[in-house]
Every structure is written in structure tokens, then in C-alpha cells.
Amino acid sequence: MSLSSLSEPITHQLAHRLSILCKRWNLQPADITAGALLWLAWTGTTWLAFALSLLFVEIGETGEVSWLEAALGGCWVGVSRWLVLRPYLRHPTRWIIATVASWLLLVLLHLCAVGWVVPGTPNLLLRGGFGVLYGGYVGLGLGLGQWWGLRSQVHQAWRWIPLNAGIWAIGIALAWITGGWLRAASGLFLGEVVGLLIGWGAIAALSGIGIVGLLYESKGEDKLKRYPSSRALTAAKSNAPGSKSPY
């Protein structure tokens, strides 16, 4: 029996189950494509923004990272996400205002550097516990602020608060556990940097799934529609019948 003959029934079953899910959730191929593209853009941009933030934020153990550098890094990540998200929101400025305000509040609470610091303990269990605790705090603070920016534009935007808190808790715990294990195995601090890159990858991917789910509108409405920019609206008005040309 060939490999192709074995994989054919598995492929058929997967395709059948996917078609059932698409019908149940009223998904169209265009919806799946738009959601996948948004997820890829969000995930890639978030992870790349964190990687580029390492050019001006020096990773260190708790208490060694500048709060100002971490705040700039957080705002940098927030701006990169805003660039991806703004075509899908009627008032995208609210998102970036809420994100920057949330990071500034985290500065006052001495929590904004969580994404760029590592705990001093080599105990992986403690690292995981601290990661869940501090990551959850940061995700909760950001989620509350960003909920304000989404609440008038996204249906049931309150779900972003617990979702973001859980995602940050998982991502930071994963980063600190992985970094601690790699550092112990290699004897190099570079293992901590790799751990944070992996953790931020998890945060980017999981939050991307969450934001796509929030933006997707049920009941046959097009949730992932892109709103025209102000420049496009101005051009459309100027080209409309009856509009006066300045020339």
C-alpha cells in the first residue's frame, strides 16, 4: 500500500471537517484568506518590532533594564501593531493612544520592562510561576487600555482584556522557562535572548488569532472589511459627481 493511498482518506476527512466548520461559522473562502493575511501581518510585524527593539533596549536581569528603554520598546511594538490594524478600524487613532497610555501606566507600576527582562533565579518552576504572574499583569494592563480603543468599534471588545492577559502570561512564562533552560544548557546569556524571542513569537501568534476573531463579524457581516483612509475619502469626494474642482 502506497503512502498516497494512506494519506488520501486522512486528507478527505480533514477537508470534510473543515467544510463543516466553515458552514457552521458562515465562513467564506474570502474570509479565510483575509483572516490569514491579517494574522500573518500582525504576527510578523509584532515579532519583528520586538526583534528591532533589541537595537536600543538591552536585555538584562530584573532591575538591570532601563524603564525608559522598555517604555520606548513597548510603544514601538504598539505603533507597529497600529500600522497593521488601522485599515480595519473606523477610528484607529484610539488604539495607539490607548496603547501608549497603557505603557506609560505600566512604567509607573514598574512593569513595562517585563518583556525585556529575565528573572535571576535558574529554577524553571519559579521562572514559569513568575512569568505567568508578571506576564498576566502586563497583559491585563494593556488589555484594559486597548479595550477602550476597541469598545466602540468591535463587538464584545471586553473579551480582549482576559484574552490579552492570558496570552501574555503564557508568552512570558514560555520565554523565561525556555531562556533559563537554554542558558543552563549552553552557559551563555544568549539563551535568555532566544527564549524572549520565542516568547514574543507566542505572544504575537496567539494575539493575532485573538484580534482576527474579534474583528470577524458573525451573522453574515463582513467583519474583516477594510475602512478607507482619510486620503482615499478625500479623493473619492473630489471625484464625486457635482464636486467642484479647484482648477
In tens, the pLDDT along 18-44 reads: 667 666 656 666 667 888 899 999 999
CA-nearest of 118, 106, 92 to 211 is: 92
CA dist 199 to 76, 117, 138, 145, 205, Å?
17, 12, 14, 22, 10
Query: Counting Cβ atoms within 10 Å, is residue 121 exposed (0-12), middle (13-18) or buried (19+)?
Result: middle
Q: State the total domains in the chain.
A: 1
User: Does residue 9 lie in a domain region?
Assistant: no
User: Does residue 129 lie in a domain region?
Assistant: yes
User: Does residue 7 lie in a domain region?
Assistant: no
Mean pLDDT for 58-74 is 82
Mean pLDDT for 168-190 is 95
- The proportion of the chain whose per-residue pLDDT surpasses 70, expressed as a percent, equals 75
> Residue 218 pLDDT more than 50?
no
Mean pLDDT for 215-232 is 54
Residue 168 confidence (pLDDT) = 97
User: Does residue 10 lie in a domain region?
Assistant: no
Is residue 118 within 8 A of residue 152, CB to CB? The reply is no
User: Does residue 14 lie in a domain region?
Assistant: no
pTM score, whole prediction: 0.80
Domain that holds residue 125: 39-226
User: Does residue 119 lie in a domain region?
Assistant: yes
The 10s digit of each residue's pLDDT in 95-143 is 888 888 898 888 888 888 899 999 989 999 999 999 999 999 999 999 9
> Residue 206 pLDDT more than 90?
yes
Residue 45 CA, distance from chain mean position:
9
User: Does residue 17 lie in a domain region?
Assistant: no
Query: Got the DSSP string for 12-70?
Result: HHHHHHHHHHHHHTT--HHHHHHHHHHHHHHHHHHHHHHHHHTTT---EETT-S-HHHH
> Residue 2 pLDDT more than 60?
no
Residue 177 confidence (pLDDT) = 97
Is residue 157 within 8 A of residue 107, CB to CB? The reply is no
Residue 95 confidence (pLDDT) = 87
Query: Counting Cβ atoms within 10 Å, is residue 79 exposed (0-12), middle (13-18) or buried (19+)?
Result: middle
> Residue 196 pLDDT more than 90?
yes
> Residue 57 pLDDT more than 60?
yes
User: Does residue 4 lie in a domain region?
Assistant: no
Q: How far apart are CA 150 and CA 157, in angstroms?
A: 6
Is residue 200 within 8 A of residue 175, CB to CB? The reply is yes
